[in-house]
Structure 1
Amino acid sequence: MPAHYDYAVIGAGIAGAAFAARIAPQASVLLLEAEAQPGYHSTGRSAALYTSLYGNELIRALSRASRDFLGAPPPGFTEHPLLTSRGRLYVGGEHERHIIEGIAESPLARTMSPAQARAWVPVLRPEAAAHAVLDTSAHDIDVNALHLGFLRMAKAAGAPLVCNAGVQALERGDGWRITTAAGEFRARVIVNAAGAWADTLASLAGVRPLGIAPLRRTAILIDSPDAAGSAAWPAVIAASGAFYFKPDAGLILASPCDETPSEPCDAQPEELDIAIGVDRIESVTTLAIRRVARAWAGLRSFAPDRSPVVGYDAGCDDFFWLAGLGGYGVQTAPALSTLAASLALRRAAPAIFAESGIDAAAMLPARLTAVPVSDKEQA
């Protein structure tokens, strides 16, 4: 008979790894990963930027609640700092002025004149930086160090990681029987941290999908006109959300901020999206992009309301959702994993979350299934 665990976490990306690290000291946990290495998909393709001015109010609160951990992780968690100061410069033309002014209302933001913005990032065209505001909370994140730190925590607390273990079948009886490519396992609770495959896993378990949609985003690496000088640039993002670019190891990482619906897959960049990315960067800067050193794509998965889905399924009390993290999974991992572990253990959320303006009820799966009877009948 296979070992029986309290929790089987499906997916060992940042969400699954952080959850396992938090709950393993209090329960037996198994981490199952479909790929040969954890973090192959969304975690490994992150833009690696922390900011507490990104996402909806819930995401911003979770990001703020994660800041202390990211700035000062527990002893032994990592040998290197997780955060490096970067700054995030929002820019826009006259038609984006109202967006810039809205961002500037945050105490973490600092309005900059067009001259100041262009002195810092000389490649910006004047019309593209007619209005600018700096997000002072923004830092680069060492995503690999953060992910490995949580994996080490989970392992030290007795949670094994099994890779190449794509789930083939889930059978619910006296607990769950989990059939994978790496063998059969048993657990009392399934934790759905499957990212883009969250709804697919739910269907496999006989649980109603919640409409978690994978959206493809493209990233490119291009040459910098001045690698040494550009290293000090902030991340630059359009107030409209049409592009971003930031220094990256002597090159420039850029994206057209696309959100193309996709099936769950090993996402690959499309030539058209690469071309759109190049065009958008050239239209707002003086850069002449002669080559794309590298291009890739990742899937950012969102619930319909673009907030995380965390908690037990409304119709299956031993199926726990930890999904729909969008592009925020890395920067919210410290706080979200603590909250998720409390909910999975059926304990009240620590008071610090309510004090931080984080409503756990706003993340429960039931919010996505509580529809009028007439709507159910029409579905």
Structure 2
Amino acid sequence: MKYFDVAIIGAGIAGASIASEIGADRSVLMLEAEEFPGYHATGRSAAFWTESYGGPLVQPLTSASLAFLEKPPAAFSETGFLRARGAVNIAREEQGHLVDEFLADFAGSDVDLERWNWAQATALIPGLKPAWTQAVHEPNCRDIDVAALHAAYLRDARRQAVELVCRAPVNQIRRREGAWQLTAGDQVYQATVLVNAAGAWADRIAEMAGVRPIGIQPLIRNMVQIETDPPSSPDMPLVVGLDGSFYFKPEAGGSYWLSPHDETPSPPGDVAPDELSVALAIDRFEKVLDVPVKRVTRRWAGLRSFAPDRLPVIGYDSAVEDFFWFAGQGGFGIQTAPAASKLARAVLLGQAPDEMLRHIDASRYSASRFR
């Protein structure tokens, strides 16, 4: 039986980032059920960083992560992970109240938002139909290289001697003599602290460990890649419906990525795209842009997992010793990874928080809020 200070279940962006943060201070095991890390949620991201995404209570983690993502430490990566994109959040004339609410949500923050009219929006969004008269420009939105960021966290964890074991679904967890005993396949491991970074499976892992579930709900999000005539412009911003019914952005080769922004409850598992959702995404796209769709070139779906209050869960369970939650990261887990993992490090190790976290209230994300 191998012994570790910390065992992390899950090697997506959550597990990889916290492993990278604590690997120099503790002996760490990372168990991944799939053949390779990031198969489910991390590898199926829409790949953008925008401060408003997730709402005003998630925004501090997103904003705090910006400097790291733009210019990470040289030992972590020689290049940054962001590229300029910009975003325009749009609404119809009768939905002006959505613009007011959106701007009010971020009033007093440092998020750069500006109310626009149709003429201003169409200058960046060729083909925007006249019905979309209300807009908010968010110039600081960026594309994020998800694969490179995830790979950098895994590489950094490996450099610090974190042991990653793939094809190792955990099938038994026991608490014995002040330590966690985990059975994964035919191997048994022991650790002082258990970190639940299992994404959609977070509640199942908790139950397996004898911990009361929080109510982490996996939700399916469908994505579609299309070709149009004319093709997309590489300079077009991310376009988001303020009513939460769609978003789309240009992709390499003149295509678009679009989503109906759906959230269908699902048990954890490998999800497939839904044809009705694909058709809905295309229909909503055509109601926004006067651009004919030529063909669908790709479709996929992924799971986003939310706590009941839709905020991340970072911290020790208040009822079970040495059980650490790092879950409920929804669709913002990648763009908040630097700040969230540093916050997790501070709480897990009982250390002072990193300077980047100076404006963040850690209690807002504490697991104890559900007890």
When normalised by structure 2's length, the TM-score is 0.94
- Say whether 1:268 aligns with 2:272: yes
1:5-20 alignment, distance < 5 Å: 5-20=4-19
C-alpha contact (below 8 Å) 2:228/2:295 kept by paired residues: no
The alpha carbon displacement at 1:350 in A equals: 4.1
Contact 1:11/1:33, CA 8 A, preserved across alignment: yes
1:230 pairs with one of 216, 228, 233: 233
Q: Name the SS of the counterpart of 1:52 in structure 2.
A: coil
Verify the 8 A CA contact 2:228 2:293 in the aligned structure 1.
no
Matched, 1:205 2:209: yes
Query: Aligned to 1:111, what secondary structure does the other structure show?
Result: strand
1:278 alignment counterpart: 282
Q: Secondary structure at the match of 1:329?
A: coil
Counterpart check, 1:344 vs 2:343: no
Flag the 1:253–1:149 CA change in 2: closer, same or farther, 3 A: same
* Partners of 1:325 and 1:310 in 2: CA distance: 10
**Whole-Å separation in 2 of the counterparts to 1:360 and 1:182:** 38
Change over 3 Å in CA distance of 1:58–1:182 after alignment to 2 = farther
Do the aligned residues in 1 keep the contact of 2:76 with 2:156 (CA within 8 Å)? yes
TM-superposed CA distance for 1:182, in Å, is 5.8
Residue aligning to 1:108: 112
* Structure-1 separation of matches of 2:208 and 2:278: 35
Displacement of 1:102 in angstroms is 4.2
2:246 match: 243
Q: Deviations over 1:125-174 (max 9, x none)?
A: 110x2011211120000001111111111111110111001101011103
Q: CA offsets, 1:170-210, max 9 Å, x none? A: 11103111111262211111100000000010011111101
CA contact (8 A) 1:217 1:257 kept: yes
Partner of 2:366: 364
Q: Which moved more, 1:67-76 or 1:118-127?
A: 118-127
Structure 2 equivalent of residue 171 of structure 1: 174
1:161 is aligned, of 160, 164, 180, to: 164
Give the aligned partner of residue 376 of structure 1. none
Match of 2:40, SS state, is coil
Shift of 1:79: 4.4
Deviations 1:67-107 (A, max 9, x none): 11001011143344300000011111112212224445565
- In the aligned structure 2, how far is the partner of 1:226 from the partner of 1:183? 55
Contact 2:339 2:356 in 1 (8 A): no
Q: Quick one: distance in 2 between partners of 1:317 and 1:349?
A: 22
Q: Give the deviation of 1:363 after TM superposition.
A: 1.2
Name the residue aligned to 1:373.
none
Secondary structure at the counterpart of residue 321 of structure 2: strand
In the alignment, what sits opposite 1:143?
Answer: 146
- Structure 1: give runs of 5+ residues left out of the alignment: 370-379
Distance in 2 between the 1:78 and 1:268 partners? Answer: 33
Could you tell me whether the CA contact under 8 Å between 1:85 and 1:140 is conserved in 2?
Answer: yes
* Separation (CA, whole Å) in 1 of partners of 2:353 and 2:74: 25
Question: Contact 2:245–2:260 (CA<8 Å) still a contact in 1?
Answer: yes
Rounded Cα–Cα distance in structure 2 between residues aligned with 1:39 and 1:31: 13
Q: Which runs of 5+ in 2 are unaligned?
A: none
Per the alignment, in what secondary structure is the counterpart of residue 243 of structure 2?
Answer: coil
3-state SS in 1 of match to 2:98:
helix
Which SS does the other structure have where 2:58 is aligned? Answer: helix
Match of 2:313 in 1: 309
1:245 partner amino acid: F
Distance 1:170 1:103 in 2: 44
Superposition deviation, residue 121 in structure 1: 1.3
User: CA separation of 1:178/1:339 partners in 2, compared to 1, >3 Å: closer, same or farther?
Assistant: same
Point out the more displaced range, 170-179 or 75-84: 75-84
1:318 aligns with 2:322: yes
Question: What letter matches 1:270 in structure 2?
Answer: D
CA distance in 1, matches of 2:55, 2:318: 24
1:73 aligns with 2:72: yes
For 1:148, what is the secondary structure of its paired residue? helix
Q: Distance in 2 between matches of 1:76 and 1:320?
A: 27
Cα distance, 1:288 vs. partner? 2.5
Which range is displaced more, 74-83 or 211-220? Answer: 74-83
TM-superposed CA distance for 1:367, in Å, is 0.8
User: Which position in structure 2 is the counterpart of 1:377?
Assistant: none
Residue aligning to 1:259: 263
8 Å CA contact 2:41, 2:303 repeated in 1: yes
